[in-house]
């Protein structure tokens, strides 16, 4: 579904990502793990088109999207739920969800999806008229994921969904991801919480200062002694 | 004392009615500030062009009011389009001060060129602007509501209602509210950000054009320095009310209208601007975010 070849992302003279190649197949949950500054966020920002790619090609559903502007990439179903949620705090919960459906014009289907998202996250239904800026971190993350789902993603990119949440809520976020996986959604998950990310994904890429240093099945990587010591901080 | 109270009320009402033109100018500033965080210093040009388009249609051709104001809005929007294409689009990747300086250059260039052309045709500082509502009015007890002021308020109110409808009830508005928060949010939701910003420039400039018509009509005059004056009044109103806030632009504009007329009435016309500036100064000490501005949220 997604084929990234030799992606390089630079900010001025500094390259944050060098020659990274990643593949995501339909129905898979793939995770990018690595320490802070490893280039995970830069990769997905480049994929969704909000930072420029210095080089490399991106194929999405058999079409080259390397040079498309961000809004065109979104329209093709590559939906990026960004780090830090990026909600509109002055809008209500419902308005934020409708932002996700901005590209769609099928009113009845949008209403049905709105209902489905609120079914999935009952908290959002309770708070549909509440201003998003007044919600807790966990609720905001649910709203951000719900907004992503409103776009009917072909591929859902979740960038650090558990960042800044209390342990109980981190658990809940990974439950949500497990639920999406059961439904057969294709997901690219970016996480600092590497062990949890490995447990909830099929395959993984391990990044270190802008390069892929390991990749493979998540279940095997989770058992890899070197990885556990070097990147997961567990023995 | 009785007559003083009547005059005071009359002045306040006139100030509120006339202040609606300032509110329209301030809305143009605040829209662009809210979406782009740049002061569009070229905004006064839209007012000046709107005023002269209005003068041509009202005085020289003799078109009716409603047509004239539409022409002024279109003329203003054309200027807005140029501001977007010349001052903003090519420079959007640069630091936010760069497009602002470009709008300053645009303002000075257009105004100077216009003054050269103007002085070829007319040999005085002002040309007459036909006012079809001159002399008309409404008497309520001892208070008289000037016809042209009432029309001005009606037009401004209609334009504000249209703006609110656009922002809170349409897809364009949804896109603008996302972009006002963060351009990336818009892009990630599939909004063609550049196109929405062009629309915002057209919209704010059309409102500037309408303000130009109304300012010319109520003064019965059109002058080539109208743009510079509008920049001062519009920025003042926006900052007084709260930068980036539409209710702020309205409150700021109406307050400036009242402030100016009251200071002329109570003190002297000569101190009008000084008193208004003093008031702004005092307000900003107490409320740096303006009268109704919020510190973070609600940028448009």
Q: What is the pLDDT of residues A134-147, one digit of tens each?
A: 999 999 999 999 99
Taking only the tens place, the pLDDT of each residue in A75-95 is 999 999 999 999 999 999 999
- State the Cα–Cα distance between residues B299 and B243, nearest whole angstrom: 8
- Residues A73, A162, single domain; the answer is yes
Which pTM was predicted? 0.92
- Residues A161, A201, single domain; the answer is yes
**Which residue of A45, A46, A88 is the best one to mutate when testing the B interface, meaning the one whose CB has the most B CBs within 10 A?**
A88
A55-60 and A63-64 as β-strands: parallel, antiparallel, unpaired?
antiparallel
- Residues A164, A219, single domain; the answer is yes
- Residues A95, A206, single domain; the answer is no
What tokens appear for B114 in the block? 């216009």
The beta-carbon neighbor of A50 closest among B184, B190, B297 is B184
The A-side interface with B (CB below 8 A) comprises 48-50, 69-71, 74-75, 79-80, 82, 86-91, 95, 98-100, 102-103, 133, 147, 151
Say yes or no to pLDDT of A119 above 80.
Answer: yes
- Residues A132, A73, single domain; the answer is no
Name the β-bridge partners of A205.
Answer: A32, A215
Containing domain of residue A109, as a range? 87-152
Closest Cα in chain B to A76: B190
Last residue of a domain, one of A108, A135, A152: A152
- Residues A162, A72, single domain; the answer is yes
The beta-carbon neighbor of B191 closest among A71, A79, A98 is A71
- Residues A108, A217, single domain; the answer is no
Q: Does B192 sit within 8 Å of A90, measured CB to CB?
A: no
Q: What number is the ipTM of this complex?
A: 0.92
Q: Quick one: pLDDT band at residue A36, thresholds 50, 70, 90?
A: confident
Going B218 to B220 to B222 to B225, the CA torsion angle's sign is negative
The B-side interface with A (CB below 8 A) comprises 171, 174-175, 177-178, 181-182, 184-193, 296-299
Please check whether residue A209 lies inside any domain of the structure.
yes
pLDDT of residue A232: 62
- Residues A177, A71, single domain; the answer is yes
Please check whether residue A62 lies inside any domain of the structure.
no
Average predicted confidence (pLDDT) for chain A: 92
The beta-carbon neighbor of A90 closest among B186, B190, B298 is B298
B190 chain-A contacts, CB cut-off 8 A:
71, 74-75, 102-103, 151
Helix (H, G, I), strand (E, B), or coil: what is residue B127?
strand
- Residues A160, A71, single domain; the answer is yes
pLDDT of residue B297: 46
Name the β-bridge partners of B198.
Answer: none
A86 chain-B contacts, CB cut-off 8 A:
182, 184-185, 188
- Residues A171, A71, single domain; the answer is yes
pLDDT of residue B47: 98
The enclosing domain of A30 has a CATH number of 3.40.50.300
Say yes or no to pLDDT of A163 above 80.
Answer: yes
Last residue of a domain, one of A125, A152, A179: A152
- Residues A99, A198, single domain; the answer is no
Residues of chain B with pLDDT under 50: 297-298
Please check whether residue A82 lies inside any domain of the structure.
no
Q: Average pLDDT of A21-36?
A: 93
- Residues A114, A39, single domain; the answer is no
Please check whether residue A26 lies inside any domain of the structure.
yes
């Amino acid at each position: 579904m997604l084929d990234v070849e030799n992606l390089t992302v630079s900010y001025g003279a500094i390259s944050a990502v060098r020659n990274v190649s990643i593949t995501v197949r339909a129905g898979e949950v793939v995770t990018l793990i690595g320490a802070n500054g490893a280039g995970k966020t830069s990769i997905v920002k480049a994929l969704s088109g909000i930072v420029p790619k210095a080089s490399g090609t991106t194929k999405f559903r058999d079409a080259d999207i390397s040079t498309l502007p961000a809004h065109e990439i979104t329209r093709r179903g590559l939906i990026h739920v960004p780090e830090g949620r990026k909600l509109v705090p002055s809008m209500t919960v419902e308005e934020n969800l409708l932002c996700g459906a901005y590209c769609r014009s099928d009113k009845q289907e949008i209403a049905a999806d709105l209902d489905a998202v609120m079914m999935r996250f009952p908290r959002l239904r309770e708070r549909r008229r509440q201003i998003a800026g007044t919600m807790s971190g966990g609720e905001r993350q649910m709203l951000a994921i719900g907004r992503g789902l409103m776009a009917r993603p072909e591929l859902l990119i979740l960038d650090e969904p558990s960042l800044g949440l209390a342990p109980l809520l981190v658990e809940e976020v990974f439950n949500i991801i497990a639920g999406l996986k059961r439904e057969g959604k294709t997901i690219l998950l970016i996480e600092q919480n590497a062990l949890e990310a490995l447990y909830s994904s099929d395959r993984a890429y391990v990044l270190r200062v802008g390069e892929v240093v390991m990749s493979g099945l998540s279940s095997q990587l989770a058992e890899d002694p070197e990885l556990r010591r070097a990147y997961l901080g567990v023995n | 004392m009785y007559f003083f109270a009547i005059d005071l009320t009359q002045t306040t009402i006139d100030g509120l009615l006339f202040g609606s033109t300032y509110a329209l100018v301030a809305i143009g500033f605040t829209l662009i500030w809210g979406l782009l965080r740049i002061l569009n210093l070229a905004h006064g040009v839209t007012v000046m062009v709107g005023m002269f388009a209005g003068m041509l249609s009202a005085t020289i051709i003799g078109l009716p009011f409603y047509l004239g104001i539409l022409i002024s809005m279109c003329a203003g929007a054309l200027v807005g389009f140029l501001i977007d294409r010349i001052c903003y689009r090519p420079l959007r990747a640069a630091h936010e001060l760069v497009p602002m300086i470009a709008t300053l250059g645009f303002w000075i260039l257009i105004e100077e060129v216009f003054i050269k052309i103007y002085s070829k045709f007319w040999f005085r500082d002002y040309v007459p602007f036909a006012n079809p509502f001159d002399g008309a009015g409404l008497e309520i007890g001892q208070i008289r509501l000037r016809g042209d002021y009432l029309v001005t308020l009606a037009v401004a109110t209609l334009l504000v209602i249209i703006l609110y409808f656009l922002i809170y009830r349409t897809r364009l508005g949804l896109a603008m509210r996302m972009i006002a928060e963060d351009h990336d949010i818009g892009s990630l939701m599939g909004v063609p950000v550049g196109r929405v910003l062009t629309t915002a420039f057209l919209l704010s400039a059309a409102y500037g054009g309408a303000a130009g018509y109304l300012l010319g009509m109520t003064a019965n005059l059109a002058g080539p320095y109208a743009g510079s004056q509008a920049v001062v009044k519009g920025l003042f109103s926006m900052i007084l009310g709260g930068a980036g806030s539409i209710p702020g632009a309205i409150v700021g504009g109406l307050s400036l209208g009242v402030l100016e007329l009251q200071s002329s009435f109570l003190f002297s016309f000569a101190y009008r601007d000084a008193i208004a500036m003093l008031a702004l100064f005092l307000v900003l000490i107490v409320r740096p975010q303006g009268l109704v501005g919020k510190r973070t949220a609600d940028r448009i």
